Amino acid sequence: MLSPKAKRACCEKVMEPMKKIGTHNGTFHCDEVLACFLLKQLPEYQDAKIIRTRDPKLLAECDVVVDVGGEFESEKHRYDHHQRSFNETFQSLCPEKRWVTKLSSAGLVYLHFGHRILTQLLEGTAADDQAVQVLYDKLYENFVEEIDAIDNGISQFDGEPRYAMTTNLSARVGHLNPRWNDMDQDTESGFQKAMEMVGKEFRDRLDFYFKSWLPARSLVEEAIRKRTEVDASGEIVVFSKGGCPWKEHLLNLEKELVVEPPIKYVLFADQNGQWRVQCVPDGLNTFENRLSLPEAWRGLRDEKLSTISGIPGCIFVHSGGFIGGNQTKEGALEMARRALKEAAVSNGTNLS
């Protein structure tokens, strides 16, 4: 049986002060909702109480404050972005990063805590794991940056848009606020619903990138590193599995790995076990190819294509010249090699 002194010591240990996360009350926005969700993924804040107020005295009692208070000072865990002097971007705070969108409270919290948050959500990983480093960048560019931009009123492009975007995450968070003419203007229940919705979408996106996007990147990287084993030119890669999304990974990895000359063709098996040869595009958002399949092959199929190309087992070449097929891996590889050779001849380059 515990002595009174021991009981008191146990109670004092259990009754540690509850951590407090401060943010503003009233109408809520996606940036502070996400910032609060992210903070609560960390062990030190998982049981924290969210204090929604603009009272400076109450905010001063909080362990961390986001999106209110007129102060950005990471050493004090103050993450507001509304002050006139604030113009920070990911790049200004981390010069090795390329993003120049002004940060909101979501971006500030993600920048300072993102690596730890990802390791908490991805059990079994460490903050310095290469996977975490890659996912940290991917989640900012394809989730958090949009929220930063919308909250700061930064347009995606110049000029009038052709249509309105009203179903993005920031808009859906906004719709959880009370309507202007509702009798009940309490925002607390809406804030909790918004944090649940935003948190679920962040987790879902992370799960997709970790379990699908990242393995695809690994597959593409392996193919790039082995490209000279496929063909001495280094301009043809073969994927060990078909069906993976490869364009974004290939274009990014070429830059990271300083690949020269640029890769022209990728080979992979389709669902029927036949092989495809596909041209690498000039960029993610263009239909222009680095090197299209030969003009004389385009729109032809089967025996006619095999006769014209001199390659057995041909199935088709699309009329646009961006993809073709062969019954075997060897045949698809020969199509790619022949296309490179014809281009070299037409350009006056000697490929031996």
Q: How many CB atoms lie within 10 A of CB 312?
A: 14
The count of C-alpha atoms lying within 13 angstroms of the C-alpha of 148, restricted to the half-sphere facing its C-beta, is 26
Dist. CA 201–CA 185, nearest whole Å: 26
Dist. CA 299–CA 45, nearest whole Å: 61
Helix axis angle, 130-139 relative to 214-225, nearest 10°? 120
Who's near 166: CB < 8 A, 6+ residues apart?
none
Task: Name residue 323's beta-bridge partners.
Answer: 278
Whose tokens are 């146990």? That residue is 10
Question: In which element (H, E) is residue 66 found?
Answer: strand 64-66
Task: Name residue 227's beta-bridge partners.
Answer: none
Token pair recorded at residue 162: 């052709």
Q: 128 falls in which pLDDT band (50, 70, 90)? A: confident
Q: Which of 188, 22, 197 lies closest to 105 in space, CA to CA?
A: 22
pLDDT over 70 at 2, yes or no: no
Tell me how far CA of residue 147 lies from CA of 111, 144, 189, in angstroms.
13, 5, 21
CA angle 89, 92, 97 (to 5 degrees): 85
Integer-rounded Cα radius of gyration of the chain: 27
Q: 16 falls in which pLDDT band (50, 70, 90)? A: confident
Dist. CA 244–CA 96, nearest whole Å: 29
Dist. CA 102–CA 200, nearest whole Å: 25
pLDDT in tens, 244-295: 999 999 999 999 999 999 999 999 999 999 999 999 999 998 999 999 999 9
Least confident of 23-27, 154-158, 210-214, 274-278: 154-158
Dist. CA 1–CA 203, nearest whole Å: 45
pTM beyond cutoff 0.85: yes
Dist. CA 341–CA 344, nearest whole Å: 5
